[in-house]
A = this chain, B = another copy of it.
Amino acid sequence: MAKTKKQPRPKAETPKGFRDYFGAEVSERAEMLQKIAAVYHRYGFDALESSAVETVEALGKFLPDVDRPNEGVFAWQEADEDGKGDWLALRYDLTAPLARVYAQHRNDLPTPYRRFAMGPVWRNEKPGPGRYRQFYQCDADTVGTASMAADSEICAMLADTLEEVGIPRGDYLIRVNNRKVLNGVLESMGLADDEERSAAVMRTIDKFDKVGEAGVRELLGKGRLDASGAYIDGVGLTDDQADPVLTFLTSKADDMAETFANLRKAVGDSTMGQEGVAELEQIADLLAAQGYGPDRIVIDPSVVRGLGYYTGPVFEAELTFEIFDEKGRKRQFGSVAGGGRYDDLVKRFTGQAVPATGISIGVDRLLAALREKGRIGGTATGPVVVTVMDRDRMADYQAMVGELRQAGIRAEVYLGNPKNFGNQLKYADKRNSPVAIIEGGDEKEKGIVQIKDLVLGAKIAENATLEEWKERPSQFEVPRGDMVAKVREILDGQGG
Chain A residues in the interface with B (C-beta under 8 A): 1-3, 9-16, 18-23, 25-27, 30, 34, 37, 41-44, 46-55, 57-58, 60, 62, 67, 74-76, 78, 86, 88, 90, 100-101, 103-105, 110-112, 114, 120, 122, 133-134, 142, 144-145, 147, 149-150, 152-153, 156, 195, 285-286, 289-291, 308-309, 344, 348-351, 382-383, 385, 394-396, 398-399, 401-402, 405, 408-413, 415-416, 427, 430-431
Contacts and interface: CB of A to CB of B under 8 A. Distances in A.
A22 B1 contact: no
Contacts of A21: 47-50
A348 B399 contact: no
Contacts of A101: 20
Q: How many copies does the complex hold?
A: 2
B55 A11 contact: yes
B402 A290 contact: yes
Contact of A43 (B34, B78, B133, B405): B405
Contacts of A9: 348-351
Given A15-B54, A30-B47, A289-B395, 17 more contacts: A10-B349, A12-B103, A12-B350, A16-B86, A22-B48, A22-B105, A23-B48, A26-B48, A44-B401, A53-B134, A76-B76, A112-B416, A144-B416, A150-B415, A153-B398, A153-B413, A290-B399
B12 A104 contact: yes
A459 to B, nearest CB: 22
Nearest to A307: B1
Contacts of A15: 51, 53-55, 78, 86, 88
A53 B54 CA distance: 16
A30 B416 CA distance: 33
B416 A58 contact: no
A366 B382 CA distance: 29
A44 B104 contact: no
A87 B14 CA distance: 12
Contact of A12 (B47, B152, B349, B399): B349
A286 B398 contact: yes
Contacts of A62: 1
B3 A27 contact: no
Contact of A2 (B111, B308, B351): B308
Contacts of A289: 395-396, 398-399
Contacts of A103: 12
